[in-house]
């Protein structure tokens, strides 16, 4: 997970870096306009993934910033964005140096307990973790989480992002109980902030966590409680609940809990006509239900669901996907003793 720059960190850090620089800008005096323009242009280059240009502009902005003093807040703004550029090319030595310097400057400018300082702790801890310095990273990420949880101006999403990064750090250090607690905390933060993108990204990681046979029972209890909470918060037919059911179905199939998979896909099937996604989602639900039934020996019911999935896919002119389902259907027909029909189905193209 740490051998390349994980999307879980870089996307979040890049977005936050850009926001950070804008958030710190104040009414400009005439003599810092050159700095401000260079910084803005550098940030825009980051957004456009023009990394070489971004570095050149931010280097120049740093020169301008240092004219106001080595510990001026403008210097920190340039450094934190340079950190994004260095991280993109995995130059961790430079990334960590500029991030530590930005942290020191912000502490001098704002004091220890400030949202920008908490941000710097988060950035530095995340970079250290990705670069392989996991034990050192823990100190910074814990400090960031402690600060973000207690600063009223920090959104729940930012708290959740730090919690999930610290959770990944705990997993790397083989401390799964602490990781699980942090993962769950991040989910709660994302729910509270009504941020489905972050919520379901973390849930995807948790699915893999709970698919470990040692954690499957605990995972089943987690999915049950979490679904009940989403139903209560957003409604039993909301996109939140539907997306969660998809994840629960994947968990159930991976852990071979076919009874749970059946009940999950049955509920999804009842909701599918009211939710976005169209034919592919409806077909996937029917196929998932069919497989769950087949694995439990309920072949008559499974055959009906396979036929529905095939019909949906063929109606949407999704022939390749329909052919895949037909192979599953053929296995089901064989179990029902319909060997010739199964053989003919496998020959179809």
DSSP symbols for 267-280: HHHHHGGGSTTHHH
Domain 1-154, CATH number (from 1.25.40.10, 1.10.10.10, 3.40.50.150, 2.160.20.10):
1.25.40.10
Least confident of 1-15, 43-57, 255-269: 1-15
- Percent of the chain at pLDDT > 90 equals 83
Q: What is the model's pLDDT at position 84?
A: 96
Q: Which two tokens stand for residue 61?
A: 């902005």
The pLDDT tens digits for 135-193 are 999 999 999 999 999 999 999 999 999 999 999 999 999 999 999 999 999 999 999 99
Q: List the one residue out of 54, 136, 61, 115 whose CA is nearest residue 87.
A: 54
Torsion sign across C-alpha atoms 114, 115, 118, 119? negative
The pLDDT tens digits for 211-238 are 999 999 999 999 999 999 999 999 999 9
Cα atoms in the 13 Å half-sphere on the side-chain side of 83 = 34
Which helix (H) or strand (E) covers residue 140, if one does?
Answer: helix 134-150
The distance of Cα 85 from the centroid of its chain, to the nearest Å, equals: 22
SS3 category, 134: helix
Q: Which two tokens stand for residue 83?
A: 């950190």
The pLDDT tens digits for 107-144 are 999 999 999 999 999 999 999 999 999 999 999 999 99
Q: What is the model's pLDDT at position 58?
A: 97
Spatial separation of the C-alpha atoms in residues 147 and 159, rounded to whole Å: 9
Q: Cα angle at 147 between 210 and 225, to 5 degrees? A: 30
The pLDDT tens digits for 68-87 are 999 999 999 999 999 999 99
Spatial separation of the C-alpha atoms in residues 299 and 311, rounded to whole Å: 18
Spatial separation of the C-alpha atoms in residues 349 and 136, rounded to whole Å: 57
Domain boundary assignment for the chain = 1-154, 277-349
The pLDDT tens digits for 295-333 are 999 999 999 999 999 999 999 999 999 999 999 999 999
Q: What is the model's pLDDT at position 349?
A: 64
Fold classified for 277-349: 1.25.40
What is the chain's mean pLDDT, rounded? Answer: 90
Spatial separation of the C-alpha atoms in residues 135 and 307, rounded to whole Å: 54
Q: What is the model's pLDDT at position 22?
A: 43
pTM: 0.81
Same fold, 1-154 and 277-349: yes
Q: Which residues contact 330 (CB under 8 A, 6 or more apart)?
A: 342, 343, 345, 346
């Amino acid at each position: 997970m740490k051998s390349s720059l994980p999307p879980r960190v870089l996307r979040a850090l890049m977005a936050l870096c850009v926001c950070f620089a804008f958030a710190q800008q104040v009414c400009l005096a005439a003599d810092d306009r050159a700095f401000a323009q260079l910084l803005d242009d550098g940030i825009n280059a980051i957004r456009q993934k023009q990394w070489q240009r971004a570095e050149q502009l931010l280097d120049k902005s740093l020169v301008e910033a240092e004219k106001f003093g080595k510990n001026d807040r403008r210097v920190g703004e340039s450094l934190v964005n340079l950190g994004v550029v260095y991280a993109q090319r995995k130059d961790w030595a430079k990334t960590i140096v500029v991030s530590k310097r930005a942290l020191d400057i912000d502490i001098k400018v704002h004091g220890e307990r400030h949202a920008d300082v908490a941000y710097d702790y988060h950035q530095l801890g995340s970079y250290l973790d990705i670069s392989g310095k996991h034990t050192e990273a823990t100190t910074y990420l814990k400090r960031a989480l402690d600060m973000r949880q207690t600063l009223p101006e920090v959104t729940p999403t930012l708290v959740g992002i730090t919690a999930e990064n610290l959770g990944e750090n705990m997993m790397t250090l083989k401390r799964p109980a602490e990781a699980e607690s942090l993962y769950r905390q991040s989910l709660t933060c994302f729910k509270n902030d009504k941020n489905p993108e972050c919520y379901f990204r973390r849930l995807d990681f948790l699915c893999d966590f709970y698919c470990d046979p040692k954690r499957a029972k605990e995972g089943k209890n987690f999915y049950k409680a979490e679904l009940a909470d989403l139903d209560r918060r957003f409604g039993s037919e909301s996109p939140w609940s539907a997306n969660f059911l998809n994840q629960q179905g994947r968990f159930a199939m991976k852990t071979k809990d076919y009874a749970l998979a059946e009940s999950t896909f049955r509920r999804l099937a009842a909701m599918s006509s009211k939710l976005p996604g169209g034919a592919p989602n409806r077909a996937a639900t029917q196929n998932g239900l069919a497989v769950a039934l087949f694995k439990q020996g309920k072949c008559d019911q499974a055959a009906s669901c396979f036929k529905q999935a095939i019909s949906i896919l063929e109606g949407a002119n999704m022939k390749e996907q329909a052919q895949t389902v037909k192979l599953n259907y053929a296995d089901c027909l064989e179990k029902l003793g319909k060997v010739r029909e199964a053989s003919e189905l496998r020959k179809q193209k």
